Amino acid sequence: MADYTNYTNKEMQAITLAKMLHDGQIAIVGTGLPLIGASVAKRVYAPNCNLVVESGLMDCSPIEVPRSVGDLRFMAHCGVQWPNIRFIGFETNEWLHDSDRMIGFIGGAQIDPYGNVNSTCIGEYNHPKTRFTGSGGANAIATFTNTVIMIQHEKRRFMQKIDYVTSPGWIDGPDGRAKLGLPANRGPQAVVTDLGVMKFDEKTKRMYLAGYYESSSPEEVIENTGFDIDVSRAVKLDAPDPEVIKMIREEIDPDQVFIKVPVPEAK
């Protein structure tokens, strides 16, 4: 018999993200864990939220997790199929009207204490050790929209200084965005990792540990972070509902494309 209490940190990560969405919000999602989290939110925690993707598909409600933002599984259950340029205008219009109903989920290879994200390259830009696909729509999302960042928690990813700023966070503190001419009333709200949830101090805009999982600890977060991080405000987060774990495994990602199910130990 399947055990839905034996959840993984990735499942916890997706559910933690899902709980950050509220009814009435518009969430910009991509594929992978952010989409799994958004799908859980749509089914359980915020049924009246709306999911949009940068390919121009609006009010999406996929039955099974799509592999890309152009996947037919997105298109079959969406309200509108706009061209990409309409999505960009919609995103900017939300900012121009000072609306707080939109939130974007982005990821990357590196992140610094102020939530600046690198998804461009590892090493020097013109001679990188590794070249990634780049921004896609993430730079515009991080510029005009509040964001939640999803990333695996490793010291090589959580760096004091990242190799390239693809998507702007709080830059270097509370005045960082304004100094560069970016919207000062937008920025990263949280970082959700496989070890916990980081938020940003209201005054300094520097990252701190807000919550950790049953399977992790503040000490593990410190050990896997490449800069000093405040853990004094951290609380242990509740374990997920087994019914939600069952939903992820049997309905949302049944082929284990993005989350692998633990193999039961042989007796």
Q: Active site residue: 54, 154, 223, 265, which one?
A: 54
Tell the residue number behind the tokens 């980081």, with chain if given: 198
CATH domain 9-191+242-252 topology: Glutaconate Coenzyme A-transferase (3.40.1080)
Mean pLDDT per 10-residue section of the chain, whose length is 267 residues: 88 94 91 87 93 86 77 80 83 85 93 97 95 89 94 96 97 97 96 97 98 96 98 96 95 90 71
Per-residue confidence (pLDDT) for residue 221, from 0 to 100: 98
Per-residue confidence (pLDDT) for residue 100, from 0 to 100: 85
| Position 188, amino acid | P
**d(C-alpha 256, C-alpha 78), whole Å:** 23
The answer to whether 54 is a known catalytic residue is yes
Distances in Å between the Cα of 140 and the Cα atoms of 13, 32, 117 are: 24, 20, 13
Per-residue confidence (pLDDT) for residue 265, from 0 to 100: 66
**d(C-alpha 180, C-alpha 42), whole Å:** 36
CA 11 to chain centre: 13
